[in-house]
Amino acid sequence: MIRIQEEDFDLGDEYTALKKNSRSPGAIVTFTGLVRDLDGNEKITGMTLEYYPGMTEQSLAEIISEAKQRWRLDQIKVIHRVGKLVADDQIVFVGVSSAHREEAFLACRFIMDYLKTRAQFWKKETTTSGERWVDAKSSDRDSAEKWKQ
Amino acid sequence: MSITILYFARIKEALEIDREELDFEKDISTIQQLVSFLGLRGEKWQTTLAEKSILVAVNHTVANFSTALNDDDEIAFYPPVTGG
């Protein structure tokens, strides 16, 4: 299940829903990404997130589908926030349930690595010296590439 | 032929446009030809669309400059993604 929304989400509610919707989960792994308050030494006061309605959902669905082909998983939930956020806000949630922890851990990490390099989201940071679009990081590309080996 | 073009993030701000509908009688059959056509609008368009990192999608599917265009296609130009 995929949700792209401006509103915040509640980790407890998401965990409860994953547990309730899973058949016999031995493991639930969740990841939550937050807005950092520093980029290098510069203070980040806010962030605006843009996406491509239609295509972004499709890209996330493809990532989830690939995770399901690689591992035996039960439920998968991805939430990504868009619009205006401030430091410490929650941006992204990935929750995976599976019979075994190994698969849940791997799938959660895989989904995040691919989301960061394949899903159409763009961040614009507001700092004390103005606004700027965030550049894609080669470390994120390297993390995603590792899943191809 | 009629197409819709969407621009996102840095590309949208550089070109000062987020969306346009284009009708053309001229023969534009690939993304590369579309980019050349848009480049006729001036230097700002030429430099922005010539950025090495620019990505393109046709009808929500990642494409490239040799991808063919068809009537009613939705084309999107965007920079590398930075979500998560």
In the predicted model, residues of chain B with pLDDT beneath 70 are none
pLDDT at A30: 98
pLDDT at A42: 83
CA dihedral A122, B6, B56, B26 (to 10 degrees): -160
Beta strands in B1-84 (DSSP E): 2-7, 19-23, 55-58, 61-63, 74-78
Sole residue written with tokens 């979500």: B83
Rounded CA gap, B79 and B9, in Å?
7
SS3 A127: strand
Beta bridge partners of A77: A95
pTM of the model: 0.94
pLDDT at A41: 79
pLDDT at A39: 75
Rounded CA gap, B19 and A62, in Å?
26
Mutate to test the interface with B, among A63, A110, A133, A143 (most CBs of B within 10 A): A133
A contacts of B9 (beta carbons < 8 Å): 50, 122, 124, 133
Longest dimension (CA), chain A: 51
pLDDT at A147: 94
Q: What is the pLDDT of residues A57-83, one digit of tens each?
A: 999 999 999 999 999 999 999 999 999
In the predicted model, residues of chain A with pLDDT beneath 50 are none
A contacts of B82 (beta carbons < 8 Å): 116, 121-123, 133-136
Q: What is the pLDDT of residues B72-83, one digit of tens each?
A: 999 999 999 999
pLDDT at B65: 95
Inspect the interface and report whether the beta carbons of A116 and B83 lie closer than 8 Å.
yes
Residue pair A114/A66 in contact (Cβ under 8 Å)? The answer is: yes
Chain A residue closest in CA terms to B57: A55
Rounded CA gap, B15 and B44, in Å?
7
ipTM: 0.94
Instruction: List, edge to edge, every strand of the sheet that includes B61-63.
Output: B19-23, B2-7, B74-78, B55-58, B61-63
